[in-house]
Amino acid sequence: MKNSKFIILFIFSMVFAFSAFAQKSKTEKVSFKVYGNCGQCKDRIEAACDVKGIKAAEWNVDTKMIEVIYVPEKISLEKVHQLIADCGHDTDLKKASDAVYQKLPDCCLYREKPNTHHE
């Protein structure tokens, strides 16, 4: 039974550590539009946001809106837009360079074939 108490304690301390960790730096949640088409775009956009300073990012294929939780002390919002533009996706703040955009797979070329499909 000694062991079990240890484990419970360990888990509680872990949960506590996580929540403390999460609270330490001030985070902000923003939502903005990112142009793209498909699930491949989603992977690409979310992978581009996988950097220090961004806690989480989720892009919605249907609404084209991205939700980003980031730490303003570590990364500026402009930089987040830039990261997304650098991987080939336009935002209303930053445009992707044509060179990067042209390298996207055909189904992801949202400028030529914007996804207007809604249900």
Indicate the residue type of 99.
Answer: A
- Cβ proximity of 31 and 65 under 8 Å: yes
Contact segment (CB under 8 A) with other proteins among 22-30, 70-78, 79-87, 91-99 equals 22-30
Shortest Cβ 76–other proteins spacing (Å): 20
Contact segment (CB under 8 A) with other proteins among 6-14, 71-79, 85-93 equals 6-14
Regarding 42 and contact with other proteins (CB under 8 A), the answer is yes
- Output phi, psi for 54, to 5 deg: -105, 120
Regarding 23 and contact with other proteins (CB under 8 A), the answer is no
Regarding 58 and contact with other proteins (CB under 8 A), the answer is yes
CB-nearer residue toward other proteins: 15 or 76: 15
What's the first-to-final CA gap in the chain, in angstroms? Answer: 56
Shortest Cβ 94–other proteins spacing (Å): 22
- Cβ proximity of 57 and 43 under 8 Å: no
Q: Residue holding tokens 């939780």?
A: 69
Regarding 9 and contact with other proteins (CB under 8 A), the answer is no
Regarding 4 and contact with other proteins (CB under 8 A), the answer is yes
Residue 40 to residues 26, 44, 106: CA-CA distances in angstroms?
A: 31, 6, 11
